[in-house]
């Protein structure tokens, strides 16, 4: 995807950004490793199934952060990975070394190779994030493309004494990590005692919380569908064949593409206690320096008072909302109404309200005419302050609507709105000359209802409103006249 932000960055106009760092549990002033540059990594999807709306929310939130840094003049190098091997189902219970590889589950389910599964669901994912108007990352690496880099890291961990080998796997020894729980701040012994009923799958693990960086093609994984030769040895696998653990994959891709220390690492809050904690331990073991200076974590999208989850049967995909007649950009608008660190409750009524709100915004933009004036500096400053305060999208949207209601000229309103949309990504420019297509039958009903309203024939007006709804549209009254929305 063409990244127009690279054409408009201004390195002399970098706005101070404050963000909440999970590592310190405080909001901090962002200080980049290199002036004017941002090295940014987001944990991407495991491509074994269509991603649900909770995953899409995470992608939109990262996109808003990416766009914010571009808006303030940073040259962003953004990486989001694809996990296509090694992510076991035990992650659902807090132990990513247990269970079955998700890619293998999908292969059996669909009678296709892991590579075919990966290609299929990456294509769906790419289509979904494009529909949501997210900017494409600079790199979108697959774990299976970085096996050599992963093996190099495992070798270093063994050489430095951070890892040890058993017949079944190579494990990172958490007792060798400096301040292992500094990100999660959890009492490790309490966690372990609470999980004591789980089966121990490798009796030669030194500590229950030690985690695999390489699984040998042995034991429960002797029939693994994806495996590679390695220089490691096991009494059960002479040529070291196996596959990487989930955590080491991100560390290897970050090291190769962004460097030993990056500015921002982002993921969901579920990544804090295990995945990100383990990334830190192994990366710092290899590199001897911090993995990331700032850790950002988005909260869950919930439905029925619990996390939206495919495994729990509570997930909806982007195709589900499109089939119900919703605009993907209305979903993006919905996501922006809650802070990325706040839980957001998904309901169809809430999405309908967001679609009506987005349509109302587009109607306003279209009413301004096509001539763009000057950006209003006072509103730009207010917008910048909101979005620079830990990416407060809901307050930034409030500034947008306040500006549109102000007494500045229509041309300046349009210019200012289009400037804000560099961050918001709501395709306001594209909407200027793209009117909503309303069927002729609906237009006639709207006209008749307007006549009834002027005659104060309220029963007739309500009757016509109901007929309009029967066609799948809703009419709302505004000072500028009736506004029609698709429902």
Residues 297-315 have a mean pLDDT of 81
Give per-residue pLDDT as tens, 396-441: 999 999 999 999 999 999 999 999 999 999 999 999 877 667 788 8
Cα–Cα dist 318/346, whole Å:
13
Give per-residue pLDDT as tens, 44-64: 999 999 999 999 999 999 999
Q: pLDDT grade, residue 470 (50/70/90)?
A: confident
Instruction: Confirm if 308 and 53 have CB atoms less than 8 A apart.
Output: yes
Is 50 exceeded by the pLDDT of residue 22?
yes
Give per-residue pLDDT as tens, 309-347: 766 667 899 999 999 999 999 999 999 999 999 999 999
Question: Would you state the pLDDT for residue 5?
Answer: 42
Question: Would you state the pLDDT for residue 475?
Answer: 82
Cα–Cα dist 227/244, whole Å:
9
Q: pLDDT grade, residue 476 (50/70/90)?
A: confident
Question: Would you state the pLDDT for residue 405?
Answer: 97
Is 70 exceeded by the pLDDT of residue 131?
yes
pTM over 0.75: yes
Is 60 exceeded by the pLDDT of residue 13?
no
Q: pLDDT grade, residue 190 (50/70/90)?
A: low
Question: Would you state the pLDDT for residue 486?
Answer: 64
Question: Would you state the pLDDT for residue 438?
Answer: 77
Sequence-separated (6 or more) residues with CB below 8 Å from residue 277? 180, 181, 183, 184
Sequence-separated (6 or more) residues with CB below 8 Å from residue 224? 101, 104, 215, 217, 242, 243
DSSP secondary structure of 271-330: GIIIIIHHHHHHHHHHHSS-SEEEEEEE--EEETTEE--TTTT---BHHHHHHTT--HHH
Residue holding tokens 């790419």? 126
Residues facing 228 on adjacent strands: 242
Question: Would you state the pLDDT for residue 279?
Answer: 98
**Residue whose C-alpha is closest to residue 243's, from 415, 97, 406:** 97
Question: Would you state the pLDDT for residue 247?
Answer: 97
Average pLDDT, the chain: 91
Residues 371-394 have a mean pLDDT of 97
Q: What are phi and psi of 30, to 5 degrees?
A: -70, 130
Q: pLDDT grade, residue 2 (50/70/90)?
A: very low
Q: pLDDT grade, residue 150 (50/70/90)?
A: very high
Cα–Cα dist 19/288, whole Å:
25
Residues 26-33 have a mean pLDDT of 98
Per-residue CA distances from 265 to 250, 281, 483 (Å): 10, 14, 43
- Of 101-105, 198-202, 281-285, 288-292, minimum mean pLDDT range: 198-202
Question: Would you state the pLDDT for residue 186?
Answer: 87
Instruction: Confirm if 368 and 325 have CB atoms less than 8 A apart.
Output: no
Residues 123-135 have a mean pLDDT of 98
Question: Would you state the pLDDT for residue 284?
Answer: 98
Give the three-state DSSP class for 240.
coil
Give per-residue pLDDT as tens, 348-372: 999 999 999 999 999 999 999 888 9
Give the three-state DSSP class for 480.
coil
Question: Would you state the pLDDT for residue 262?
Answer: 98
Q: pLDDT grade, residue 37 (50/70/90)?
A: very high
Question: Would you state the pLDDT for residue 304?
Answer: 74
Cα–Cα dist 486/355, whole Å:
8
Sequence-separated (6 or more) residues with CB below 8 Å from residue 340? 61, 64, 65, 296, 298, 299, 391, 393
Q: pLDDT grade, residue 196 (50/70/90)?
A: very low
């Amino acid at each position: 995807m063409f990244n127009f932000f690279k054409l408009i960055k201004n390195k002399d106009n970098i706005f101070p950004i404050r963000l909440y760092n999970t590592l310190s549990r405080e909001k901090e002033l962002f200080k980049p490793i290199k002036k004017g540059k941002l090295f940014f990594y987001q944990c991407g999807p495991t491509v074994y199934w269509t991603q649900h709306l909770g995953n899409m929310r995470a992608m939109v939130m990262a996109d808003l952060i990416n766009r914010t840094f571009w808006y303030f003049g940073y040259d962003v190098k953004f990486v989001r990975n694809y996990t296509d091997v090694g992510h076991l189902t035990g992650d659902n219970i807090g132990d990513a070394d247990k269970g079955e590889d998700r890619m293998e589950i999908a292969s059996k389910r669909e009678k296709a190779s892991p590579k075919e599964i990966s290609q299929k669901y990456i294509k769906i994912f790419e289509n979904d994030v494009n529909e949501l108007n997210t900017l494409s990352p600079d790199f979108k690496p697959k774990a299976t493309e970085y096996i050599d880099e992963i093996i190099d890291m495992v070798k270093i961990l063994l050489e430095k004494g951070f890892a040890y080998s058993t017949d079944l796997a190579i494990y990172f020894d958490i007792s060798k990590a400096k301040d292992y729980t500094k990100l999660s701040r959890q009492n490790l012994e309490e966690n372990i005692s609470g999980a004591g009923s789980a089966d121990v799958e490798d009796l030669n693990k030194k500590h229950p919380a030690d985690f695999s960086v390489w699984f040998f093609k042995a034991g429960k994984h002797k029939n693994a569908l994806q495996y590679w030769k390695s220089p490691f040895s096991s009494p059960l696998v002479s040529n070291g064949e196996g596959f990487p653990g989930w955590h080491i994959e991100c560390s290897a891709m970050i090291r190769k593409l962004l460097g030993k220390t990056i500015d921002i690492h982002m993921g969901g809050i579920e990544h804090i206690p295990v995945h990100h904690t383990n990334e830190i331990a192994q990366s710092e073991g290899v590199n001897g320096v911090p993995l990331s200076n700032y850790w950002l974590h988005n909260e869950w999208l919930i439905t029925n008072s619990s996390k939206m989850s495919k495994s729990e049967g509570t997930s909806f995909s982007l195709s589900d909302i499109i089939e119900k007649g919703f605009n993907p950009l209305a979903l993006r608008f919905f996501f922006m109404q809650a802070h990325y660190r706040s839980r957001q409750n998904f309901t169809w009524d809430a999405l309908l309200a967001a679609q009506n709100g987005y349509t109302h915004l587009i109607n306003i933009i279209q009413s301004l005419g096509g001539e763009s004036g000057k950006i209003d500096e006072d509103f730009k400053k207010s917008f910048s302050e909101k979005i620079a305060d830990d990416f407060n999208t809901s307050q930034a949207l409030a500034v947008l609507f306040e500006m549109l209601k102000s007494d500045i000229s229509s041309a300046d309103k349009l210019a200012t709105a289009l400037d804000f949309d560099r961050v918001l990504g709501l395709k306001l420019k594209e909407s200027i000359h793209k009117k909503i297509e309303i069927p002729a039958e609906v237009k006639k009903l709207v006209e008749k209802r307007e006549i009834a309203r002027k005659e104060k024939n309220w029963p007739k007006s309500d009757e016509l409103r109901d007929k309009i709804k029967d066609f799948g549209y809703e009419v709302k009254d505004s000072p500028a006249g009736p506004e029609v929305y698709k429902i």
